[in-house]
C-alpha cells in the first residue's frame, strides 16, 4: 500500500498573454482571484488531479502531485489552439499542504485521485473548495453540473479512517457493491496510529469497522 510520506510535488509554470483565460476554461475553480485550489478533469468529468494555483503578475504556477504531473501536462496542453500560452515544468516543488493537515482534513492525495472518479465521489468539501459553477464553462463542467443538480449519489466514494489492520480494512472496503475501484489506497502513520484512506461503494456500512478495531473519520 502507498505511504503518504512518499508523496512529492512538481511545479508547472504557465506563461503567455492568454494564460488566465485558457486556464479558466480548463480548471474547475475560478482562479481570477489569485491563490486557489482547483481540479483538472478529463473531458468525461473524472478527476485527473488537484492543483494548488498561484496567480502572479506575469505567470501562473500550478503545483501538482509528482506522480500525476506528466499526465496533467498532457491533458492541460490538449486544447491549446491558436492561443498564446506555454507550460514549463520547473521540477520539484514544496508541498502545498502538510501531510498531517491533509490527513486531518480528509483531503484526497494523488493516490486517491488516481482512482479517476468524478469530483462528487470525493465529497462535498472537495466540490465546495475546488469547483465554481458560476465562472463559466470549463472542460467536464456539463457532467459535474448535472451531478450536482441531481444530488450526486455517486456509487464509489472516498473514505478515510484510522486503526485496525490495513489489509483487513481494505478487504472489508472491497466486500460491498459490485466490482469496482475499491480498497485502501494510502496509509499515514502518526503518533503511533495508522491512518488509512481509500474508496468503497456507497452501500458500505461504516459500523462494521469497529469489529476490526478501526474508526471512520470521513465517508463522502
Q: List, for residues 48-63, the tens digit of each pLDDT value.
A: 999 999 999 999 999 9
Which of 211, 41, 213 is CA-nearest to residue 142?
41
Question: Dihedral (C-alpha) 135, 132, 109, 19: value to the nearest 10 degrees?
Answer: 10
* pLDDT surpasses 80 at 79: yes
Among all chains, which residue has been given the C-alpha cell 473531458? 43
Find where cell 482512482 sits.
115
Q: Is residue 199 within 8 Å of residue 183, measured between CB atoms? A: yes
Domain 7-96+118-149 sits in which CATH superfamily? Aminomethyltransferase beta-barrel domains (3.30.70.1400)
Q: What is the DSSP string of 21-73?
A: HHHHTTBSS--TTSSEEEEEE-TTS-EEEEEEEEE-SS-EEEEEEHHHHHHHH
Q: Is 119 helix (H, G, I), strand (E, B) or coil?
A: helix
Tens-digit pLDDT profile for residues 119-141: 999 999 999 999 999 988 999 98
Domains of the chain, by residue range, sit at 7-96+118-149
Q: By three-state DSSP, how is residue 191 classified?
A: coil
Question: Which pLDDT score is estimated for 214?
Answer: 98
The closest alpha carbon to 22, from 90, 95, 79, 97, belongs to 79
Helix (H, G, I), strand (E, B), or coil: what is residue 94? Answer: coil
For the chain, how many helices (H) and strands (E)?
7, 10
Model confidence pTM above 0.85 = yes
**Pick from 95, 86, 87: nearest CA to 66:** 95
Amino acid at each position: 500500500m502507498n505511504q503518504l510520506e512518499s508523496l512529492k510535488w512538481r511545479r508547472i509554470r504557465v506563461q503567455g498573454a492568454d494564460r488566465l483565460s485558457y486556464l479558466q476554461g480548463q480548471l474547475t475553480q475560478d482562479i481570477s482571484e489569485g491563490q486557489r485550489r482547483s481540479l483538472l478533469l478529463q473531458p468525461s468529468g473524472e478527476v485527473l488531479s488537484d492543483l494548488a494555483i498561484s496567480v502572479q503578475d506575469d505567470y501562473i504556477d500550478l503545483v501538482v502531485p509528482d506522480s500525476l504531473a506528466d499526465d496533467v501536462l498532457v491533458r492541460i496542453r490538449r486544447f491549446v489552439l491558436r492561443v498564446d500560452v506555454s507550460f514549463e515544468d520547473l521540477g520539484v516543488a514544496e508541498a502545498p499542504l502538510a501531510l498531517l493537515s491533509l490527513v486531518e482534513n480528509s483531503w484526497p492525495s494523488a493516490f486517491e485521485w488516481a482512482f479517476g472518479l468524478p469530483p462528487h465521489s470525493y465529497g462535498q468539501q472537495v466540490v465546495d473548495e475546488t469547483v465554481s459553477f458560476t465562472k463559466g464553462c470549463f472542460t467536464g463542467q456539463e457532467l459535474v453540473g448535472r451531478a450536482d443538480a441531481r444530488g450526486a449519489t455517486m456509487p464509489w466514494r472516498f473514505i478515510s479512517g484510522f486503526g485496525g489492520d490495513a489489509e483487513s480494512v481494505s478487504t472489508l472496503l472491497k466486500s460491498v457493491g459490485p466490482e469496482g475501484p475499491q480498497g485502501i489506497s494510502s496509509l499515514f502513520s502518526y503518533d503511533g496510529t495508522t491512518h488509512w484512506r481509500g474508496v468503497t461503494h456507497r452501500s458500505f456500512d461504516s459500523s462494521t469497522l469497529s469489529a476490526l478495531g478501526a474508526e471512520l473519520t470521513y465517508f463522502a
